[in-house]
Amino acid sequence: MLTCGALVATGAALAWRWRAFTLALPRWAEEDTRSLGTPARALVWLLGVGLLTGLLVGALIVGPAGRLAMRLLAATSPDAQGRLTEAGEVVGRISVGGTVGFFVFVGLPFGLAVGIVYALTSFVLPRGAVGGALFGAAVLVIFGSMEDPLRQDNRDFDIVGPGWLSVVTFCAMALLTGVLTVPIAGRIGAALQTPRGSWALWMVPVGLVAVAALAAVPVALVAVLVGCLVFFAAVMVVPAKHHAYRRRARLALQAALAVVVAAALPGFVAAIADIAG
Largest interatomic CA distance in the chain: 65
Helix axes 128-143, 163-191, angle to 10 degrees: 130
| Spatial distance between the Cα atoms of 239 and 123, rounded to a whole number of angstroms | 14
C-alpha torsion sign, points 165, 169, 170, 174? positive
In the prediction, which pLDDT does 64 show? 92
Helix axes 200-215, 108-121, angle to 10 degrees: 100
| Spatial distance between the Cα atoms of 83 and 156, rounded to a whole number of angstroms | 10
Q: Could you read off the pLDDT of 3-48 as tens digits, one per residue? A: 889 999 999 999 999 999 999 888 877 765 566 677 888 899 999 9
| Spatial distance between the Cα atoms of 34 and 241, rounded to a whole number of angstroms | 13
In the prediction, which pLDDT does 141 show? 94
In the prediction, which pLDDT does 73 show? 84
Contact 227, 117 (CB under 8 A): yes
| Spatial distance between the Cα atoms of 153 and 135, rounded to a whole number of angstroms | 25
Strand partners, 27: none
Q: Is the whole-model pTM more than 0.85? A: yes
Q: Among residues 265, 27, 65, which one has the least CA distance to residue 181?
A: 65
| Spatial distance between the Cα atoms of 53 and 62, rounded to a whole number of angstroms | 12
In the prediction, which pLDDT does 259 show? 93
| Domain extent listing, the chain | 2-20+29-276
* pLDDT-flagged residues of the chain (< 50): none
